[in-house]
Amino acid sequence: MRFEMRLITACNAGWFGKILPYLDSLKQNADFPATLISVGFEGAYPGVDCALLTRVQNAGSPLETESPQHGSFLQVLPGNDDELLIFTDGDIVLQRPLTIQEHAWLGSIPFGFVSCGWNSGPAETLEVEANRLFPRVTMEQLAGRLGSIARTAPCYNIGVFAAHRQTYRRIYEAYMPLWKIATDAFQHPARQQWLVNYVIATLNIPVIHMEYSFHANGHYGIPPGVELVNGAALYQGEVVAFKHRL
């Protein structure tokens, strides 16, 4: 039996032209529902559902990106608590349809878990990432406010992030009261991703590692086992599903 799953991506008016290649790839390769969250403007794209999220509703997002990846999109995208939501950034291409095995894997993600991949690698902690985010405070000051877990917890890349709706809501509700702390601590817009990772750690939400064959991101160079061949990203010789900034 097919389970409920929806891919969500988002952009503001300024990014809409840049997200079109991703929307084109979804139209070509996605065999599951996809929704574009248009932040602060009325977006439209054939074959992809669109939902308007106002800037007021999108509180908790960096002004630099206006990404709703922290879960603000839940306000305009109702559904069942057990629906699996896959939120993705917009600088991605879906290079191929998902395999039967990938659908089965997504359907097997337990309730209350999340899945995402490495940021720069398996050794990265929140302290490592914090030092990249143009911090305004010392790590000692930040740990004084948020606890030592703000230094030691793993930091994942949530450019492709899977969680059931209820789990996403838990993250969003814990995130929002902490947003000002993150904004005061960091100048870089990736403070949003940092804070989501912090919340996952403080809520003790188990993380299932997302393989490079499913999502490969190039923010810190080409990941191990990944190669670029004629513009396509391959992992161990097979085409990667979500090619992200490669």
- 180: nearest Cα among 205, 204, 146: 146
pLDDT digits (tens, 9 = 90+) for 232-241: 999 999 999 9
Average pLDDT of the chain to the nearest whole number: 97
pLDDT at 148 over 60: yes
Structure tokens at 197: 């990772």
Q: How far apart are CA 160 and CA 189, in angstroms?
A: 17
What are the strands, taking DSSP E only, across the chain?
5-12, 34-39, 49-53, 84-88, 92-94, 114-118, 156-164, 207-209, 215-217, 226-229, 232-235, 238-239, 242-244
CATH code at 13? 3.90.550.10
C-alpha Rg value of the chain to the nearest Å: 17
Q: What is the mean pLDDT of residues 118-122?
A: 95
Residue 2: pLDDT band with limits 50, 70, 90: low
pLDDT at 94 over 50: yes
Q: What is the pTM of this model?
A: 0.97
Domains identified in the chain, total number: 1
pLDDT digits (tens, 9 = 90+) for 165-193: 999 999 999 999 999 999 999 999 999 99
Q: How far apart are CA 60 and CA 124, in angstroms?
A: 24
Task: Note the pLDDT of residue 1.
Answer: 43
Q: What percent of the chain has pLDDT over 70?
A: 99
Structure tokens at 90: 């917009």
Tell me which residue range forms the domain holding 157.
5-244
DSSP helix, strand, coil percent of the chain (3-state; round to 5): 35, 30, 40
CA 95 remoteness from chain centre: 18
